[in-house]
């Protein structure tokens, strides 16, 4: 029998450190990428966000202070406070103040990140952004210091993880024949948004393995989540299964901080008794949860229960919608993505030239950090860091021409004509370091992983064939005269 099944001090301590690390990464991403993407002169300018919404609809500090300075201050404040949380700041101060200071710290982190998500629009339109906010809001009520966390908040974390995993399982089995005939993972590693160094090897595993792992995916996402609410050691066993599953996804792809965040949520499936039985750590002497924190956590549970009605109805509905929020503060959301898996990988290759009448040999390609361009370059590891431009390039490449969600693309080309340093910082290489190009074009290719034989012969990771032209060759004046200049005019 495992000891102390009802104690969660270590669970809270571990969970908070993991969440703080993810916040730290997320704010570092905001500090380095938000201004070129959605700042004053970003690809989707801050002013457009302010004009296009209300504070009540999409609350953000940048609605009140729409400036790059405010963005920078908020991002670096978030980095600093995340570091304080990572090093357990509230645990170092006198006991009576530990819980209120902890609540304030996690509340500020949540408010700051809310500001980035709401003002970031398409560049922050991912399920794991609202998931980080929902997780971060629950963390406000976990407390700190020697007192035990409210058990009800641990159960709210389990409920969040259940919606995360079960929602993903349902949208898959409803969404695409390949999830039902167990062939989705024949394609997934090759066509996923940003492959990593092991994706090629995972793609080349035997078909029988892909069938088995797809079946395992269904079991872990549709059956195991019920065990999150089971007594120990069943809940911990479900935690091990979930962490193992997320670990495999982290090993074989770049999914920003989605998998890491799910692993952090899975910590709530353990108890101090289980943790001390398997790792050489012990919790200090603890005290009971302050009565006022217990009361606050019960009110929180009532709020979450009320706000769970719509997300649960959506999850169980035949017409389930992926990754949707139902309240402006994103307190309780519905999750689930990759309902369909594309069987072909398309890539946008942005090329420039300084020649007025270029031949094919005169075009030089910009290289991206995560999206493959060169066929001989091994995919890189980036997750849990998030390459926001690269993710949008993956979505953009699915269409033969820019669609309504690619309004930023023309601004992106205009920024390349200006050799805009902030925008170029989002790329891996700039073939025009001295003077900007005279013309740009964007080609669309189909990429596939090389076979074992092709790789042994050439060392290449990819084979590609051109399938179309995404943007015809344009000069800077063409771009502006075409009525689609940079920034404000682009919309």
Partner 1 sequence: MERFVQVIVAGGLALLAGLWGGQIADPVSKAWLGSVAVGGVLALAVGINSQLDY
Question: Which residues of this chain interact with partner 1, rule CB under 8 A?
Answer: 170, 173-174, 177, 180-182, 211, 215, 218-219, 222-223, 225-227, 229-231, 234, 316-318
Give strand ranges (E) for 315-401.
324-325, 333-334, 345-353, 364-365, 367-368
Nearest CA among 241, 190, 252, 186 for reference residue 216: 241
Compute the least distance from the CB of residue 185 to partner 1, in Å: 13
| Beta carbon nearer to partner 1, 218 or 405 | 218
Tokens at 235, concatenated: 């809940």
DSSP 2: -
For tokens 């090993």, name the residue. Answer: 251
Residues 6 or more apart in contact with residue 183 via CB below 8 angstroms: 210, 211, 214
Looking from the CA of 348 toward its CB, the CA atoms found within 13 Å total 27
| Beta carbon nearer to partner 1, 5 or 473 | 5
Compute the least distance from the CB of residue 447 to partner 1, in Å: 28
Give CA separation, 411 vs 28, 37, 68, 403, 427, in Å. 24, 10, 18, 14, 15
Residues 6 or more apart in contact with residue 295 via CB below 8 angstroms: none
Compute the least distance from the CB of residue 33 to partner 1, in Å: 39
- Indicate the burial class of 490 (C-beta count within 10 angstroms; 0-12, 13-18, 19 or more): buried
Compute the least distance from the CB of residue 182 to partner 1, in Å: 5
| Beta carbon nearer to partner 1, 273 or 370 | 273
| Beta carbon nearer to partner 1, 219 or 295 | 219
Compute the least distance from the CB of residue 322 to partner 1, in Å: 16
Compute the least distance from the CB of residue 339 to partner 1, in Å: 13
| Beta carbon nearer to partner 1, 37 or 268 | 268
| Beta carbon nearer to partner 1, 15 or 166 | 166
| Beta carbon nearer to partner 1, 3 or 96 | 3
Compute the least distance from the CB of residue 236 to partner 1, in Å: 13
Dump the DSSP string for 159-184: HHHHHHHHHHHHHHHHH-HHHHTT-G
């Amino acid at each position: 029998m495992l000891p102390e099944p009802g104690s969660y001090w270590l669970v809270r301590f571990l969970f908070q450190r993991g969440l703080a690390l993810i916040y730290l990464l997320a704010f570092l991403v905001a500090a380095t990428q938000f201004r070129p993407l959605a700042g004053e002169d970003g690809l989707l300018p801050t002013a457009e966000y302010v004009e296009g919404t209300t504070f009540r609809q999409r609350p953000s500090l940048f609605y009140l202070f729409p400036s790059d300075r405010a963005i920078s201050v908020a991002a670096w404040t978030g980095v600093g406070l995340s570091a304080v949380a990572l090093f357990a700041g509230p645990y170092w101060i006198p006991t009576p103040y530990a819980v209120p200071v902890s609540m304030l710290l996690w509340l500020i982190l949540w408010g700051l990140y809310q500001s980035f998500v709401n003002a970031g629009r398409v560049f922050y339109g991912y399920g794991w952004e609202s998931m980080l906010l929902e997780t971060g809001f629950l963390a406000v009520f976990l407390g700190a210091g020697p007192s035990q966390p409210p058990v009800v908040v641990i159960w709210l974390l389990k409920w969040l993880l259940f919606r995360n995993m079960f929602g993903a399982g349902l949208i898959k089995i409803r969404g695409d024949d390949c999830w039902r005939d167990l062939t989705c993972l024949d394609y997934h590693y090759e066509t996923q948004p940003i492959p990593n160094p092991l994706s090629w090897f995972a793609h080349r595993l035997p078909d029988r393995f892909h069938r088995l792992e797809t079946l395992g995916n269904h079991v872990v996402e549709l059956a195991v989540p019920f065990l999150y609410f089971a007594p120990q050691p069943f809940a911990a066993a479900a935690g091990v299964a979930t962490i193992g599953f997320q670990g495999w996804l982290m090993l074989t792809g770049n999914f920003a901080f989605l998998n890491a965040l799910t692993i952090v949520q899975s910590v709530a499936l353990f108890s101090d008794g289980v943790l001390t039985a398997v790792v050489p750590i012990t919790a200090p002497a603890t005290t009971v949860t302050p009565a006022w924190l217990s009361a606050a956590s019960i009110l929180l549970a009532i709020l979450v229960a009320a706000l769970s009605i719509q997300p649960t109805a959506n999850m169980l509905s035949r017409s389930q919608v992926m990754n949707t929020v139902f309240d402006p503060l994103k307190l309780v959301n519905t999750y689930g993505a990759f309902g369909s898996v594309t069987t072909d990988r398309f890539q946008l290759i942005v090329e420039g030239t300084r020649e007025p009448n270029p031949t094919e040999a005169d075009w030089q390609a910009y290289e991206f950090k995560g999206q493959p361009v060169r066929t001989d370059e091994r995919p890189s590891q980036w997750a849990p860091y998030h390459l926001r431009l690269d993710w949008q390039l993956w979505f953009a490449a699915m269409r033969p021409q820019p669609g309504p969600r690619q309004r930023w693309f023309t601004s992106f080309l205009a920024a390349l004509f200006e050799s805009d340093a902030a925008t170029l910082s989002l790329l891996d290489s700039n073939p025009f370091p001295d003077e900007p190009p005279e013309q740009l074009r964007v080609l669309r290719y189909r990429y596939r992983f090389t076979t074992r034989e092709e790789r042994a012969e050439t060392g290449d990771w990819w084979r590609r064939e051109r399938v179309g032209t995404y943007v015809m060759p344009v000069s800077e004046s063409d771009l502006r005269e075409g009525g689609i200049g940079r920034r404000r005019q682009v919309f």
